[in-house]
Structure 1
């Protein structure tokens, strides 16, 4: 298998509604970047296992490999036509590959501009648990990964989490570039505490200078946004300081968002060992598309 995702947005497609939504979202994003779109249908074998695998098309056990490929190619042709109607003139290519979806998409997308997947595959279990392919790619893929649901339109503002970390800085850059290209407003959200609001209830009774806390939080946002606003003067920016935990603060802010941008991990060694509690929470619960950006991008 060779990589051909260079200068393209790579999309994993399995015929499910979230995967279709992901492809249509990616088509608009590719048009805004003036880059190509590569639609990849991954078939995982042997064929009898298809009914159990996310990001694969469930088919009868007795079908031949050729019939599986033909079905996948037909699905991709239909999707290509739909993407072309949405973004005329877009350079779209398609591939049918065999293997584990996470491995195949990760390899093809290694030199892509962006990797886009639906929030879940066809099985009921994966719909309940986000989808192993989306979750695995969000954790391990080095480039930005966008996970798209089909629950709502993606035409609102861009929301980005700000916590002062290097990962957050990378996410902020991604958010500004997206907002500038797509003509969106940007909301920068900083959560003052890692604790949920219920845990902060005793603290609120202490002799805290909450005006000072708010001012210091605003200073964190200003420091993190420095340079980005000057580079993207066309982006209208709002700032929000929340006294909820980071995940809840972002989910509340992204209720009507077109894109939520988070780093793959924030502060703390435990978070660096996994996806990150905040990224994990918003991937599972946010209804808008979520971009997961890693620090080293």
Structure 2
């Protein structure tokens, strides 16, 4: 996949511990991709519930702005330690985090967020803003949660849809950058239907057997091994809940990657089902990739 030339990795920062974790992850991702790093803090002036004297309002509000600068400066220092040779910029933007982050994804190769925090980004961290950004963002969104494992594979959920195809592309590229294995996991149930098998005759033998589901995964992986011959690829076809199986796999993974816009049912990867579940429950950082998301 191609992205805007020079597009940065972007991290949302708010001063919380998890937001600083996101800065570390974003800095490492920028190094892997040889991309610049951009740190963004969403700032909204506090609403004062009571009237205050004019002489007090100015200094009080300036204190909030000063605190925002301290948050950004702390993030800059941390990012510079992780990525000393990377071009790093930071900006404090006025407005709500949801809109600011959606705007940032239009010019980013990857957006990195923590799963909980304070201040300007408190809502997005495992909340409505994270879901909105993953749903409507124009680039992949990485949510830092669970444990960050230094070893282990990159795990991709595969269901044969355009959404999971983009996620698979992202996952294999990430595995190549990290020098690790890729696990392509296809979970299925008795009524699983994908874009790769929905034209077959509707009989039990044609669409609900393990052999057919292995064919679905093989079709999804066609060409991937040729493009990335140095990445060991492990194929896993399992009967059961995609949410449960991917969460289980995330316990030993460096990263778990899923798409949006999949089919409903066990094999589906719709945001709101599998993707949303992983944002909340994955044991390692999770990436959500939209079907039209751009990435390197």
TM-score by length of 1: 0.81
Answer whether contact 2:18 2:115 (CA < 8 A) is retained. yes
Answer whether contact 2:146 2:282 (CA < 8 A) is retained. no
The equivalent of 1:28 in structure 2 is: 28
Taking a change above 3 Å as real, the CA distance of residues 266 and 276 of structure 1, as seen in their structure-2 partners, is farther
Q: Specify the SS of the correspondent of 2:251.
A: helix
Larger deviation, residues 248-257 vs 167-176? 248-257
Which of the residues 283, 288, 291 maps onto 1:292?
288
The equivalent of 1:12 in structure 2 is: 12
Aligned: 1:95 with 2:91 = yes
- Give, in angstroms, the shift of residue 234 of structure 1: 1.1
Answer whether contact 1:72 1:96 (CA < 8 A) is retained. yes
Alignment of 1:146-157 (within 5 A): 146-149=142-145, 151-153=147-149, 155-157=151-153
Gaps of at least 5 residues in structure 1 are 50-60, 196-207
> Structure 1: which 4+ aligned runs deviate by more than 6 Å?
none
Taking a change above 3 Å as real, the CA distance of residues 89 and 150 of structure 1, as seen in their structure-2 partners, is farther
Taking a change above 3 Å as real, the CA distance of residues 152 and 177 of structure 1, as seen in their structure-2 partners, is closer
Q: Specify the SS of the correspondent of 1:71.
A: helix
Answer whether contact 2:112 2:141 (CA < 8 A) is retained. yes
The equivalent of 1:133 in structure 2 is: 129
Deviations 1:92-142 (A, max 9, x none): 10101111001112112311111111112238xx69x82232222112212
Cα distance in 2 for partners of 1:99, 1:134 equals: 16
- Give, in angstroms, the shift of residue 224 of structure 1: 0.6
Answer whether contact 1:9 1:38 (CA < 8 A) is retained. yes
Gaps of at least 5 residues in structure 2 are 50-56, 192-203
Aligned: 1:171 with 2:167 = yes
- Give, in angstroms, the shift of residue 181 of structure 1: 1.1
Q: Specify the SS of the correspondent of 1:287.
A: coil
Which of the residues 76, 101, 105 maps onto 2:72?
76
Taking a change above 3 Å as real, the CA distance of residues 48 and 244 of structure 1, as seen in their structure-2 partners, is farther
- Give, in angstroms, the shift of residue 76 of structure 1: 1.7
Answer whether contact 2:23 2:78 (CA < 8 A) is retained. no
- Give, in angstroms, the shift of residue 194 of structure 1: 7.4
Answer whether contact 2:149 2:252 (CA < 8 A) is retained. no
Q: Specify the SS of the correspondent of 2:277.
A: helix
TM-score by length of 2: 0.81
- Give, in angstroms, the shift of residue 276 of structure 1: 3.4
Answer whether contact 1:154 1:289 (CA < 8 A) is retained. no
Root-mean-square deviation over aligned CA pairs: 3.1
Deviations 1:153-196 (A, max 9, x none): 3543100011111111111001011111111211010112178x
Cα distance in 1 for partners of 2:59, 2:146 equals: 30
Answer whether contact 1:164 1:220 (CA < 8 A) is retained. yes
Aligned: 1:245 with 2:241 = yes
- Give, in angstroms, the shift of residue 22 of structure 1: 0.9
